[in-house]
Amino acid sequence: MSFDPLRRAVRVAPLAPDLVGRALIGRIARRIAGKSIDTAFGPGINTRATIDADPRATIGALLPNVPVDQLDLYEREYEEIEHEIVERAKTRTLPMPSLWRTEKQTGLVLYTLARAMEPQVIVETGIANGWSSIIFLRALAKNGSGALHSFDVRDDVGKLIDESEKGPWNLHLLKDGTLPEFNGILDTIPPIGLFFHDSDHSYLHMRLEIRMAGAHLAPSGALCSDDVSLSHAYIECCEELGLEPRLLVDAHKASGFAVR
Ligand SMILES: C[S@@+](CC[C@H](N)C(=O)[O-])C[C@H]1O[C@@H](n2cnc3c(N)ncnc32)[C@H](O)[C@@H]1O
């Protein structure tokens, strides 16, 4: 694979103080506004992505041919699962902060994509307590087929996941968390029907990891990411693949979705 982004990052290094300044202003603005896309997105972002505040707008754009009553059914299923995970979380001692969880509206879009597109292979990076893993595992169980490949670097992940849910689960603990190690495992599994990034959110890691996943994406696969407001990494990956990203502003973060 090419390391163009690395060369690019080196070229933009002199801009770092400006980026730090903008990130700080973004944090302050978010505190004041409650929720907003980071100012790091900058002017003109609307020409590179569509920004949604309502998950049904995101879902409608990504799945235009799925009937509304079907989408309503998926939403009802998801509401039950979300409630169940919230209750389960209250009864367990969890090693990672609850703030790391996939947020509610983001989870709805991920669950709906997993139900409607019936991917045979889902890949996620970043498991933490297992919130997003459960969303995918429950969608696969309802679909009746498919496998989830979850990647992380810590061995205390997935504490929220029940044994009874682990049938389609393939846990990959990366020994040193490197991208070549991740890419090597992607080479051994079939094309990805749905990818979700939620691991290391630094620009370079996101840019390269999502690019690697994109290179393994099935012809009608979905490329998704959490925390897309931290840099342009996700948008750049979509542009590279000719995908049109939808960015969803959730409670504290923004997530990105695109379907090939
Ligand atoms: C934001 S949390 C994931 C939250 C999870 N998706 C959920 O819904 O609860 C980030 C996770 O990424 C993992 N991580 C950090 N660097 C990583 C890397 N290089 N590769 C894979 N996972 C990584 C962390 O150990 C942590 O479990």
Q: Is the CB of 100 under 6 A from ligand 1?
A: yes
Show me where the domains of the chain are located: 4-259
Q: Of 95, 230, 107, nearest to 159 (Cα)?
A: 95
b/e for 38-59, b at 16 or more Cβ within 10 A?
A: bbbbeeebeebbebbeebbebb
How far, in Å, CA of 130 to CA of 122, rounded? 14
- Indicate the Cα dihedral angle 138, 144, 145, 149, nearest 10°: 10
Say if residue 38's pLDDT is above 60: no
**From residue 161, how far is each of 5, 32, 229 by CA, in Å?**
36, 36, 28
pTM for the complete prediction? 0.87
pLDDT recorded at residue 176: 84
Residue type, 205: H
How far, in Å, CA of 123 to CA of 133, rounded? 10
pLDDT recorded at residue 257: 98
Residue 27 Cα to ligand 1 midpoint, Å, equals 22
pLDDT interval class at 46 (50, 70, 90): confident
pLDDT interval class at 43 (50, 70, 90): low
Q: Is the CB of 119 under 6 A from ligand 1?
A: no
pLDDT recorded at residue 161: 98
Residue labelled with tokens 């995908």: 243
Question: What integer is the mean pLDDT of 29-49?
Answer: 57
Question: What integer is the mean pLDDT of 98-113?
Answer: 98
How far, in Å, CA of 124 to CA of 146, rounded? 14
3-state helix, strand, coil in the chain (%, to 5): 50, 15, 30
- Return the structure tokens found at 200: 């290391």
Say if residue 203's pLDDT is above 80: yes
Q: Is the CB of 154 under 6 A from ligand 1?
A: yes
Q: Is the CB of 196 under 6 A from ligand 1?
A: no
Say if residue 231's pLDDT is above 70: yes
Angle between helix 55-62 and 68-90 (nearest 10): 130
How far, in Å, CA of 177 to CA of 199, rounded? 10
Q: Which atom of ligand 1 is nearest to the CA of 154?
A: 25
* Minimal-distance CA residue to ligand 1 atom 5: 127
Q: Is the CB of 89 under 6 A from ligand 1?
A: no
- The count of C-alpha atoms lying within 13 angstroms of the C-alpha of 8, restricted to the half-sphere facing its C-beta, is 11
Q: Which residue has the higher pLDDT, 3 or 112?
A: 112
* Minimal-distance CA residue to ligand 1 atom 21: 152
Cβ atoms < 10 Å from Cβ of 107: 23
SS3 of 215, please?
helix
Q: Is the CB of 200 under 6 A from ligand 1?
A: yes
Say whether domain 4-259 belongs to CATH 3.40.50.150.
yes
How far, in Å, CA of 98 to CA of 107, rounded? 14
Beta bridge partners of 125: 151, 197
Residue 68 Cα to ligand 1 midpoint, Å, equals 33
pLDDT recorded at residue 76: 98
Q: Average pLDDT over the chain, rounded to whole? A: 88
**From residue 96, how far is each of 12, 35, 62, 135, 193 by CA, in Å?**
33, 23, 32, 18, 28
Say if residue 144's pLDDT is above 90: yes
Residue 70 Cα to ligand 1 midpoint, Å, equals 31
* Minimal-distance CA residue to ligand 1 atom 11: 126
Residue 90 Cα to ligand 1 midpoint, Å, equals 21
